[in-house]
């Protein structure tokens, strides 16, 4: 990324994690200013070089703001006309540096949905960017994207997307948890320097163990999956690093892990009918969750906690109410409703003691 001091940014993330964004930004960037957080979007100033999107793992997209308006009532045609003011040459030169291959496209978003606009409006916006950045429009395979964004919070933006174009089906395997969601779940666990042993008993392709490994340096991470092929895949991924210990196993019976030895569990168990060979006699989700929580109770230390992502919310909450974690249901932060790949689900934080759940000493 090219050097730049003091910029205005937009960062989008999975809706539901709004109350955690300030902490995540501080951890990733240090100090930010003029922070405002709305549904799935954070706007903030950062006094430093142009932000590398890889620093904000929890974000879906990162934008550099070129223009900002305190209104959302203006039509896109009006925003395009007002965006023609290119008095801030520094921002436009940064936008030019963000281009790959000298091509771009313009997109229009209203309340998180792409919107079609009159052809003449699109062409006017393309002429604006082409003249300012000496680039050519390419609507099919652009090197960069310029977005006009209207939000229901009575604000609009003209911004260049810094996140590189990527298709989830090309870099994620079927069923693999997106890294930004894994990072948000890990943030809910509130890892501390005292956490020495971490666990994901439904590790799948390893997205959560990867974040646990990165976010808590020095801790041992157990990555368990009932599928030996997936467990072997994770072992190869962390080959040569003794801190990640991948193993095929039954999440309901991890008897090789000592009682009370795990400080935090972060996991994404099955949400639907579970018919895996490991649980042939326990195919129902309620039965799976009851057994899972019983094993969590055995494994977690006195101050331990668990973060569980599921779309089977009613089944999980019933299982919690019938478990030693029942008091967690009355604690602030127990349930965070989110969307993952367009599916309604929730991230739950549970602990035997309320202090562990609320992060008290």
Whether 7-165 shares its CATH topology with 171-358 is answered no
Say which residues have a Cβ less than 8 Å from residue 323's Cβ, sequence separation at least 6.
Answer: 290, 293, 294, 297
| DSSP reduced 3-state for 334 | coil
pTM: 0.77
Domain boundaries, the chain: 7-165, 171-358
Give the pLDDT of residue 20. Answer: 85
Q: Which tokens sit at 28?
A: 């990733």
- For residue 287, pLDDT over 50 is answered with yes
Question: Which contiguous run of DSSP H or E holds residue 183?
Answer: helix 179-188
- pLDDT interval class at 166 (50, 70, 90): low
State how far the Cα of 23 lies from the Cα of 241, in Å rounded to an integer.
29
Tokens of 162: 């810094």
Q: CA-CA distance, 223 to 108, in Å (whole number)?
A: 42
State CA 296 to chain mean position distance.
Answer: 24
Mapped onto helix, strand or coil, the DSSP state of residue 164 is coil
Distance of CA 94 to the CA centre of its chain: 26
Q: What are phi and psi of 76, to 5 degrees?
A: -60, -35
Please give the CATH topology (third level) of the domain spanning 7-165.
Answer: VC0802-like (3.30.2130)
User: What are 95-142's pLDDT values in tens digits?
Assistant: 777 677 789 999 999 988 999 999 999 999 999 999 888 889 999 989
pLDDT (tens digit, 9 = 90+) per residue, 25-49? 998 898 899 999 998 899 999 998 8
Cα first-last separation, the chain: 40
Domain spanning 171-358: CATH 3.40.50.150? yes
Q: How far is CA 357 from the centre of its chain?
A: 21
């Amino acid at each position: 990324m090219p050097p730049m001091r003091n910029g205005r940014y937009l960062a989008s993330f999975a809706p539901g994690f709004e109350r955690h964004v300030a902490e995540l930004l501080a951890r990733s960037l240090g100090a930010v200013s003029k922070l405002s957080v709305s549904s799935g979007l954070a706007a903030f100033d950062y006094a430093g070089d142009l932000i590398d999107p890889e620093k904000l793992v929890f974000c879906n997209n990162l934008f550099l703001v070129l223009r900002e308006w305190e209104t959302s009532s203006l039509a896109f045609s009006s925003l395009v006309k007002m965006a023609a003011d290119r008095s801030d040459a520094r921002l436009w030169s940064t936008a030019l540096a963000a281009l790959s291959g000298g091509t771009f496209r313009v997109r229009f978003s209203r309340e998180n949905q792409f919107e079609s606009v009159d052809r003449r409006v699109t062409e006017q916006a393309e002429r604006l960017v082409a003249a300012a950045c000496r680039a050519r429009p390419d609507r099919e395979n652009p090197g960069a994207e310029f977005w006009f964004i209207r939000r229901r919070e009575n604000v609009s933006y003209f911004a260049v997307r810094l996140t590189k174009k990527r298709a989830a089906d090309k870099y994620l395997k079927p069923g693999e948890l997106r890294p930004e969601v894994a990072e948000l779940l890990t943030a809910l666990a509130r890892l501390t320097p005292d956490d020495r042993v971490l666990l994901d008993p439904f590790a799948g392709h390893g997205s959560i163990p990867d974040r646990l490994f990165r976010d808590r340096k020095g801790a041992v991470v157990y990555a368990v999956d009932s599928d030996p092929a997936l467990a072997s895949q994770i072992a190869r991924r962390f080959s040569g690093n003794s801190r990640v210990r991948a193993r095929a196993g039954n999440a309901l019976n991890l008897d090789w892990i000592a009682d009370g030895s795990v400080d935090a569990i972060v996991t994404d168990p099955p949400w639907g009918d579970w018919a895996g060979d490991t649980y042939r006699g326990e195919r129902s989700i309620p039965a799976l969750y009851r057994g899972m929580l019983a094993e969590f109770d055995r494994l977690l230390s006195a101050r331990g906690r668990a973060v569980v992502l599921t779309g089977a919310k009613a089944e999980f909450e019933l299982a919690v109410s019938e478990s030693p974690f029942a008091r967690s249901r009355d604690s602030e932060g127990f349930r965070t409703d989110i969307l993952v790949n367009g599916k309604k689900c929730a991230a739950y934080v549970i602990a035997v003691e309320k202090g562990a759940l609320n992060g008290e000493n």
